[in-house]
Homo-oligomer: A and B are copies of this chain.
Amino acid sequence: MYIKDNRWVPTLDDIKEAHHRVIPWINRTPIMTSMSIDSMVGGNLFFKCENLQKVGAFKFRGATNAVLSLSDEQALNGVATHSSGNHAQALALAARNRGIPAYIVIPGNAPKVKVDAVKGYGAEITFCEPTLDARETTLEKVIERTGAEFIHPYNDSRIISGQATAALELIDNIKDMDIIMAPVGGGGLLSGTSLSTKYLSPGTMIIAAEPENADDAFRSFRSGKLIPSEDPDTIADGLKTSLSDLTFNIIRENVDDIVTVSEDGIRIAMRTIWERMKLIVEPSSAVPLGAIMERKLDVKGKRVGIILSGGNVDLDRLPW
């Protein structure tokens, strides 16, 4: 439908090719279950552990696919993006794996630990003011100077095809799921998840979960028009971004519902995963379980796949 630059709706072949491309580089992450959480919610939950992915988040799948999709000529001058989060680290490592430079624009107020991680993967960092405007202008200059290829964190089909491989693996391993859930921020993971599910397990419902305090996707989905979020305040910091034209269109066509969850619900679900599953997940990862625990959807007797999106948290600043 959308075929503009790097924005089209990925096909099943795109997703399969992406998986073939990334599999030597990524962790084929485990799928875990918890008897005690199952008995709390009354269903069977299957957690796809992207917190155990390289760089600690699903983002490495998309970044790796994007970097490896480039022709040698495109790759020559490296890749660039603006991000202070998991996409920055993911792109930096993916570029290093291919042996090409990565240029990352980071707001000056980003946590030092994240900046250090990006540096650790050998990327060149340019700091900017912490506004979207400054990020974009600074990135443009970097690209002008270097000739690097811009890899958007989610408004890019190569990224979405890569993120889709998490659900592909989940469906490959767990049969007859009634529901697959993913959190939604910019919509890259959700778009990919919904496409893999529609192609490979069309009887499975796709339900997204979003913080009440950053419910732009929920409102966009209900109203049928793209409503960006305005300065949202949520502990699920990975979900503050707004949908893009590409992700909104894919989500509108393929997602069955979006539910929201309170900040307390996110906190309780996160702690439940830590305590019961002994897994470190970031708040964003806990949003789907939070929605289930707040009974925003009924999972009684159902088989539910959940993508745990990442595990990068500041251990000195836990939300309890």
Contacts and interface: CB of A to CB of B under 8 A. Distances in A.
Interface in A26-56: 30, 32, 35, 51-52, 54, 56
A61 interface: no
Tell me the dominant secondary structure on chain A's binding face: mixed
Contacts of A51: 278
Contact of A30 (B30, B35, B277, B320): B30
Interface residues of A, number: 20
A280 B318 CA distance: 14
Contact of A52 (B35, B275, B278, B281): B278
Given A30-B30, A315-B318, A320-B316, A278 B279 contact: yes
Copies of this protein in the complex:
2
A274 interface: yes
Nearest to A310: B278
Interface string A95-108: 00000000000000
Most B CB contacts (10 A, CB to CB) among A32, A52, A278, A279 go to A278
Contacts of A275: 315
Contacts of A280: 274, 278-280
Interface string A264-296: 000000010011011111000000000000000
